Amino acid sequence: MTVGKIELGRRLFFDPILSSDRSISCASCHEPERAFADPRAVSTGVAGRKGIRNSPTLVNVAYLRELFWDGGALTLENQVLAPLQDHNEMDAELSVVLSRLAEDDAYAKAFEAEFGTEPTVANLTQSIAAYERTIVSGGSRYDDYKSGTATALTATERIGLELFEGKAGCVSCHSGFLLTSAGYANNGLVHAEADSGRARISLDSADAGLFRIPSLRNVAITGPYMHDGRMNSLPDVIEHYDRGGEDARNQDDRIIPLKLSSSERSAIVAFLESLTDRKIHEGIQ
C-alpha cells in the first residue's frame, strides 16, 4: 500500500464510472455516514435492480479472513470483482470499465504513476482494496469502559453488557475487538430459497441458511439488520433472539428462548448503542 494507491482507490470507490450506466458507485451501497453500510434492506443496483442481501459495513473489513455473507471471497481484491460484475449491482463489463479509465487523463496518469502501466483488472482491484483497508474504527464508549473508565457506560448500559456476556449469551458469537467470531451460523432465520447462504460456497447442505456472523461495532447506525435486512431496528433483533428464533432449518443450538424482561431487552439495546465509534477513519488521515 502507498499513499498514491490509497488515494486512487478512494477516488474509484466514490466514482460511478465503474457501473455500466455510470449511475452508482461503491459508496452507493456503502455510505460513509452509515459506517459504510447500506440503510436499505437489500442493495439497489443499476436500473433500480434489487439484490438479495443487505450490504454490510466495510469498517475494519481489513481484519476479516473471509468476505461477503457467505464467505465467498478470501481477499479484498477478489471481493471488488463481484459487485462490479453482478447484474443486480454495478453490472459492468470489465473491459469497458478499463477502457473508460484509460481514456480519462487523470486516471490514466494515476495508474501510470502508481503501477507503471495502464489500468488493468489487477491494479484496479488492488487500488480499491488498498483504500478499503484504511476504513477502520475503534474508540467507542464501550472501549473506554473496557480500558478502565467506569463512567464511560451508564448504569443501564452496564446492565446490558452483563446480559450480553451472561444471560443472553450474545458473547458466544460476538466477542473480541471486532465483536464477532467471524464464523457462520443460522441465527434462527428461515432463509429464502434464492439464498442458501454458506452452502452456496461449500455445497454442503449442512451449511444451508448459515451466514457470516457480523461485527457489532457501530451496529446502531448500520441497520437494517440480518443478511437480508429483514429487521428494521435493534429492538426487533433482540425480540427475535428472545423468542428463540423461528425454528429454522440448521438453526444454531445456541438460539433458544431467553426469557428476557422488557427492561432487560431495553438494556441490551442501550449497550449496543454504546458500540458506536466516535470516529471512523478512512483514506490518508
pLDDT in tens, 30-43: 999 999 999 999 99
pLDDT of residue 193: 83
pLDDT of residue 280: 93
- For residue 2, count other CB atoms closer than 10 A to its CB: 10
Quick one: average pLDDT of 138-162?
96
pLDDT of residue 42: 96
pLDDT of residue 179: 97
pLDDT in tens, 184-206: 999 999 988 889 999 999 999 99
pLDDT in tens, 83-107: 999 999 999 999 999 999 999 999 9
Query: Would 3-132 and 138-278 be classified into the same CATH topology?
Result: yes
Q: Give the DSSP H/E element, type plus range, for residue 277.
A: strand 277-281
Residue 237 binned pLDDT confidence (cut-offs 50, 70, 90)? very high
Residue 123 pLDDT > 90: yes
Contact predicate 252/188, CB 8 Å: yes
Per-residue cell: 231: 429487521
Contact predicate 92/168, CB 8 Å: no
Whole-prediction pTM: 0.94
Alpha carbon distance 74, 60 (integer Å): 15
Give the domain 138-278 fold.
Cytochrome Bc1 Complex; Chain D, domain 2 (1.10.760)
Indicate the length of the chain as a whole number: 285
DSSP secondary structure code for residue 171 in this structure: G
* Cα-based angle 143, 58, 42 (whole degrees, multiple of 5): 120
- For residue 257, count other CB atoms closer than 10 A to its CB: 10
Residue 115 binned pLDDT confidence (cut-offs 50, 70, 90)? very high
Cis preceding-peptide flag for 224 (omega within 30 of 0): yes
Residue 113 pLDDT > 70: yes
Averaged pLDDT of the chain? 96
pLDDT in tens, 5-14: 999 999 999 9
Residue 255 pLDDT > 80: yes
User: What are the structural domain ranges in the chain?
Assistant: 3-132, 138-278
pLDDT of residue 218: 97
Burial of 33 (0-12, 13-18, 19+ CB in 10 A): exposed
Looking at residue 265, its amino acid is R
pLDDT of residue 283: 85
Alpha carbon distance 182, 184 (integer Å): 7
pLDDT of residue 284: 79
pLDDT in tens, 62-76: 999 999 999 999 999
pLDDT in tens, 260-275: 999 999 999 999 999 9
Q: Number of C-alpha atoms within 13 angstroms, CB side, residue 196?
A: 10
Homologous superfamily of the 3-132 domain (CATH)? Cytochrome c-like domain (1.10.760.10)
Residue 117 pLDDT > 70: yes
C-alpha Rg value of the chain to the nearest Å: 20
pLDDT of residue 197: 95
pLDDT of residue 285: 66
